[in-house]
């Protein structure tokens, strides 16, 4: 039997169904793999203490004829921003060190109900603010393709875990690119569903008008299987969409079977391929366009003029909402409490706790956000940013009158060296230019690998975008493209991460 950790989640699912392997064996293989590699990679902040018991329960259920979902018995890693009653949940912050939530996030409950086996909680930038995972208060996560490089962020732990075969699939959250950009940097598949498609109940909020939870996987089909498990209405989340979703895995299977891309109209967003995009990323993107057109797809240029202002608008809206969401970390209800010497007032305790509990990036954004929301500046900053957001939404709505799917590079560069942007917040923020418009518009976005960069040999991600509610379209087109890239390159890049040592 080949190494189980080299299988896709779909292959594991098939082998489990055929009785060729047990969930205990699969889970053990992943736990061993984590043991062997995580000292180098640092993907996990916490490990499950009962994964093998859960796996055993899944095997027993199967033996008695109960199979709760296609992913029953399949392991999963969970970003540390989702509440779990059986594991510490810190969101990468000191202020929540040691905190065990009193309830599971709805997504976590759904994973459990589907019979999946949680392996642990993955590292992330503190409160999901960042693009490299270096803002984690706990550890640095390495990119499995080159351990001197960042895995992307904020969900670098989930993406590194999937790429390095420490988990077949993982859960991430995406407010401005935190699922897609790490997927691009690690040669994985990452999806940000339509805003409201997946419940955020029990997900520690960053910017509530932008946050979405979604899958990280090594194949489009695997991402679809996870998407099917976690999507759906939740009365605990007031932004949750009440309509039922079509099967994403059916869409992925349809896409994988399609002969070619004929009849699919792709739009290239002019504003997302220009300034800031590296020459090697651009080269792979141009080759992807060639692949699309030579396989029957139509490609047209799309003008989305307001995307140019997306980063500026986002870095006002996000800090504004984050400053409000993070007000609850006040030393009273959750986690850390620092009591200064002498006779401190309640305010002294709160100030000392927040000073010691939050890292620099979080403080920077709280200050920016508080300023942007302050009386006298509200209209000029937050108000203007919201207007830009509306204009971006209109740009996308107009674009989707002409095309089915929009495409762009998922990130302007490949994975950058660890430490290279840490002292330069603006450079770090500017790298989000391709992913942010998708969150501002509330539409679904996917990153799939489109080859290795000619200069540094690191993975390059292709971003696909669809109208709101049309997530299935991403899976269909994504699966066809994934097959075409695999045929072109003679190998499926996401399944062939180099060995970590």
Check if 132 is active-site: no
Among 128, 137, 304, 484, interactor with ligand GLN by CB under 6 A: 128
Phi, psi of 239 (to 5 degrees): -95, 5
470 binds ligand GLN (CB under 6 A): no
Tell me the C-alpha distance between 358 and 126, whole Å. 8
* Structure token digits, residue 335: 């986690």
Name the one range near ligand GLN by CB under 6 A: 84-92, 171-179, 368-376, 417-425.
Answer: 171-179
Instruction: Quote the least distance from Cβ 132 to ligand GLN, whole Å.
Output: 9
Under the criterion CB under 6 A, does residue 445 sit at the interface with ligand GLN? no
With CB under 6 A, what is the number of residues at the site for ligand GLN?
13
Q: Does the annotation count 79 as an active-site position?
A: yes
Torsion 256-257-258-264 (CA) sign: negative
> Of 264 and 368, which CB lies nearer to ligand GLN in the complex structure?
368
Q: Which residues contact 246 (CB under 8 A, 6 or more apart)?
A: 472
Q: With respect to ligand GLN, which residue has the nearer C-beta, 31 or 318?
A: 318
In the complex, least distance from residue 208 CB atom to ligand GLN, rounded to whole angstroms: 12
What burial class does residue 445 get, using C-beta atoms within 10 Å of its C-beta: 0-12 exposed, 13-18 middle, 19+ buried? buried
* Contact flag: residue 313 with ligand GLN (CB under 6 A): no
Place of tokens 């890239």: 485
CA distance 176 to 191: 12
| C-alpha to C-alpha distance for 132 and 141, rounded to whole angstroms | 9
Q: Which of 48, 58, 178, 414 binds ligand GLN (CB under 6 A)?
A: 178
Asked if residue 176 binds ligand GLN (CB under 6 A), the reply is: yes
Pick one of 104, 126, 174, 321: the residue that binds ligand GLN (CB under 6 A): 174
Could you say whether residue 130 binds ligand GLN (CB under 6 A)? yes
Binders of ligand GLN among residues 198 to 217 (CB under 6 A) are 206
- Which helix (DSSP H) or strand (DSSP E) does residue 58 occupy? helix 51-63
d(CA 160, CA 45): 13
Contact map string, positions 378 to 417, toward ligand GLN, x by CB under 6 A = ----------------------------------------
Residues 269-308: x where in contact with ligand GLN by CB under 6 A, - otherwise, as a string = ----------------------------------------
DSSP state of 170: E
Binding segment toward ligand GLN, per CB under 6 A, in 128-136, 250-258, 396-404, 415-423: 128-136
Supply the minimum distance, in Å, between the C-beta of residue 401 and ligand GLN: 28
- Give the nearest distance from C-beta 81 to ligand GLN in angstroms: 8
Place of tokens 């709505």: 397
Joined together, the tokens standing for residue 272 give 């997302």
| 262 is an active site residue | no
Q: Does 369 bind ligand GLN (CB under 6 A)?
A: no
Q: Smaller CB distance to ligand GLN: residue 174 or 234?
A: 174
Among the listed residues 13, 175, 219, 280, the single contact to ligand GLN using CB under 6 A: 175
For residues 9 and 188, what is the distance between their CA atoms, to the nearest angstrom?
A: 13
As a whole number of angstroms, the distance between CA 60 and CA 483 comes to: 36
* Interaction between residue 123 and ligand GLN (CB under 6 A): no
User: Which residue, among 474, 494, 477, 478, has the nearest Cα to 231 in the 3D structure?
Assistant: 474
Own/partner pairs for 396-399, CB < 8 Å, 24+ apart?
Answer: 396/304, 396/437, 396/441, 396/443, 396/465, 396/467, 397/467, 399/267, 399/269, 399/302, 399/304
Rounded CA-CA distance 87/110 in Å is 16
Span from 27-35, 44-52, 125-133, 330-338 in contact with ligand GLN (CB under 6 A): 125-133
Whole-angstrom Cα distance, residue 226 to residue 237?
20
| Edge-to-edge strands, sheet with 75-79 | 44-47, 117-122, 75-79, 169-174, 212-217, 189-192, 445-452, 459-465, 405-409, 265-269, 298-302
Query: Which span (26-34, 54-62, 126-134, 138-146) binds ligand GLN, by CB under 6 A?
Result: 126-134
Nearer residue to ligand GLN within complex by CB, 83 or 299: 83
Which stretches of the chain bind ligand GLN, using CB under 6 A? 128-131, 154, 174-178, 206, 318, 432
The catalytic site residues sit at: 79, 154, 178
């Amino acid at each position: 039997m080949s190494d189980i950790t080299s299988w896709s989640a779909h292959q594991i699912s098939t082998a489990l169904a055929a009785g060729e392997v047990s969930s205990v064996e699969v889970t053990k293989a992943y736990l061993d793999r984590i043991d062997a590699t995580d000292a180098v990679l640092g993907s996990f902040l916490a490990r499950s203490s009962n994964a093998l018991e859960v796996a055993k329960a899944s095997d027993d259920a199967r033996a008695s004829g109960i199979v709760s979902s296609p992913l029953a018995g399949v392991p999963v890693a969970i970003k540390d921003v989702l509440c779990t009653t059986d594991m510490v949940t810190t969101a990468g912050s000191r202020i929540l060190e040691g905190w065990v939530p009193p309830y599971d996030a709805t997504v976590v409950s759904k994973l459990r109900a589907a019979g999946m086996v949680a392996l642990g909680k993955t590292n992330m930038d503190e409160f999901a603010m960042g693009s490299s995972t270096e803002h984690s208060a706990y550890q640095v996560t390495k990119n499995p393709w080159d351990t001197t490089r960042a895995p992307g962020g904020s969900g670098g732990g989930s993406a590194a875990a999937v790429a390095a075969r420490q988990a077949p699939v993982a859960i991430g959250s995406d407010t401005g690119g935190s699922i897609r950009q790490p997927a691009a940097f690690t040669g994985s598949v990452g999806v940000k569903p339509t805003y409201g498609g997946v419940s955020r109940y029990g997900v520690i909020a960053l910017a509530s008008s932008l946050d979405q939870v979604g899958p990280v996987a090594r194949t489009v089909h695997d991402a679809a299987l996870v998407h099917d498990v976690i999507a759906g209405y939740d009365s605990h989340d007031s932004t949750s969409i009440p309509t039922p979703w079509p099967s994403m895995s059916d869409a992925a299977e349809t896409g994988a079977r399609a002969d070619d891309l004929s009849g699919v109209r792709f739009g290239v967003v002019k504003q997302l391929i220009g300034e800031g995009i590296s020459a090697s990323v651009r080269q792979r993107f141009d080759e992807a366009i060639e692949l699309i057109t030579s396989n029957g797809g139509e490609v047209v240029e799309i003008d989305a003029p307001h995307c140019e202002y997306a980063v500026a608008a986002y870095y006002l809206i996000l800090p504004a909402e984050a400053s409000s969401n993070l007000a609850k970390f006040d030393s009273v209800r959750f986690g850390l409490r620092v009591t200064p010497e002498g006779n401190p007032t309640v305010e002294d305790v709160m100030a000392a706790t927040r000073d010691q509990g939050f890292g620099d990036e979080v403080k920077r954004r709280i200050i920016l956000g508080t300023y942007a929301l302050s009386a006298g500046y509200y209209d000029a900053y937050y108000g203007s940013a919201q207007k830009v957001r509306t204009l971006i939404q209109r740009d996308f709505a107009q674009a989707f009158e002409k095309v089915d799917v929009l495409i762009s590079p998922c990130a302007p560069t490949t994975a950058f060296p660890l430490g290279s942007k840490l002292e330069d917040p603006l450079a770090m923020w500017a790298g989000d230019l391709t992913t942010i418009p998708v969150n501002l518009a509330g539409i679904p976005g996917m990153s799939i690998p489109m080859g290795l960069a000619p200069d540094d040999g690191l993975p390059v991600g292709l971003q696909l975008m669809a109208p709101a509610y049309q997530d299935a379209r991403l899976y269909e087109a994504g699966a066809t493209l994934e097959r075409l890239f695999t045929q072109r390159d003679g190998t499926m890049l996401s399944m062939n991460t180099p060995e970590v040592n």
